[in-house]
Amino acid sequence: MPLRLIFMGTPDFAVPTLAEIVGRGHDVAAVYTRAAKPAGRGMAMQPTPVEREARRFGLNVLTPASLRTAEAQETFRLHRADAAVVVAYGLILPKPVLDAVPLGCFNLHASLLPRWRGAAPINRAIMAGDAETGAMVMKMDEGLDTGAIAMAQRLAIAPDMTAGDLHDALARCGAGLMVQALGALERGTLSLTPQPEVGVTYASKISKDETRIDWSKPWQQVHDHIRGLSPFPGAWFEMPGESAVVRIKALRTTRGDGSGVPGTTLDDKLTIACGDGAVRILQLQRAGKQAMTAEEFLRGTSLPAGTRLG
């Protein structure tokens, strides 16, 4: 018998898992997501990516502001689901919710736990220069990503891979991993392994004050910082403009040739000196404009060798 499930998720990262679960024939009793928010130039109310996908499948959507009220917890219980699947939902699940489904709540997490527990595991793995990461299905408890592991899949982080690239790869492999775990849960063969007590790190949210590029750092750290924040929120620098400095987001970089004063262009192809070595910018975005390649950018902007960037 297919499982009766509650799905809980919000951003694009969660959409492939919802689609895979529906495609495998599981009975999705309800989809929980965050409420629609005003966005865009007209500030029209925009539903979350998960809500849009759920509506496409004709599923029941709920958007409670909290799960801590007795009413919300009773509503959750009345779905009479076997288990819940949680993927980047955004609300804390209190113990009465965790206990409301007999088989448990299973979370898809984008790291190799216990490394990078917390809010920004994809960004932090790349910013730290990790060579690999992965997706894990974890049975949730009351701690922060501390539950026992059901399944895991490792994924190499390529040298120039951005957070956006890794996000998409983990969303795809994580969706497949979750349905494998649910299949084993359905058959009664799912085994759980407690997380190791060593190797715990925390992936705190990205703050605005860490997004500016520090050219005085070695090229590898600058490169990892840029790709770890791409495409959002984006690592940025300032360049001289016609009447004022212009803020630029660097979206893709690779190792550059040469060395020099940190923050100085070494050629006319956006190779920038760092504290040790250099990076070459491949893709960037001027404030308020679309992302473009370095070649497209340089057609309309002159940045000769020796230009100092902030």
Higher pLDDT, 41 or 59: 59
Within 10 angstroms of residue 242's Cβ, the number of other Cβ atoms is 5
User: Which pTM does this prediction carry?
Assistant: 0.95
Q: With b meaning 16 or more CB within 10 Å and e meaning fewer, what string describes 8-34? A: bbbbbbbbbbbebbbeeebebbbbbbb
Please choose, from the candidates 91, 70, 94, the residue with its C-alpha nearest in 3D space to the C-alpha of residue 14. 91
**CATH domain 4-202 topology:** Rossmann fold (3.40.50)
pLDDT value of position 165: 98
> Tens of pLDDT along 177-217?
999 999 999 999 999 999 999 999 999 999 999 999 999 99
Q: Which residues of 134-144 are buried (b: 16+ CB within 10 A; e: fewer)?
A: bbbbbbbeeee
pLDDT confidence of residue 310: 86
- Per DSSP, what are the bridge partners of residue 46? 37
CB distance 250 to 287 below 8 Å: no
Read off the pLDDT of residues 48-72 as tens digits, 9 standing for 90 and up. Answer: 999 999 999 999 999 999 999 999 9
**HEC assignment per residue over 232-276:** CCCEEEEECCCCCCEEEEEEEEEEECCCCCCCEECCCCCEEECCE
**Could you report the per-residue pLDDT of 160-171, keeping only the tens digit for each?**
999 999 999 999
Average pLDDT of the chain to the nearest whole number: 96
Return d(Cα 62, Cα 100) in angstroms, integer: 17
Q: What are phi and psi of 246, to 5 degrees?
A: -120, 135
Show me where the domains of the chain are located. Answer: 4-202, 209-300
Q: Which residues contact 176 (CB under 8 A, 6 or more apart)?
A: 20, 153
More confident residue, 265 or 40: 265
Residue 1: predicted pLDDT: 74
Give the torsion through C-alpha atoms of 301, 305, 307, 308, to 10 deg.
130
* Token pair for 143: 């701690």
Average pLDDT estimate for 240-268: 93
Q: Which of 192, 84, 202 is nearest to 138 (CA)?
A: 192
Asked whether the predicted pLDDT for residue 287 surpasses 90, the reply is no
- Cα atoms in the 13 Å half-sphere on the side-chain side of 95: 2
Confidence of residue 145 (pLDDT cuts 50, 70, 90): very high
Query: 209-300 domain in CATH 3.40.50.300?
Result: no
Tokens standing for 46? Answer: 């925009």
Residue 242 has pLDDT above 80, yes or no: no
Distance (Å, rounded) from C-alpha 207 to C-alpha 43?
24
Q: Report strand pairing: 44-46 vs 37-39.
A: antiparallel
Residue pair 259/278 in contact by the 8 Å Cβ criterion: yes
| pLDDT more than 90, % of the chain | 92
Report pLDDT for 45.
Answer: 86
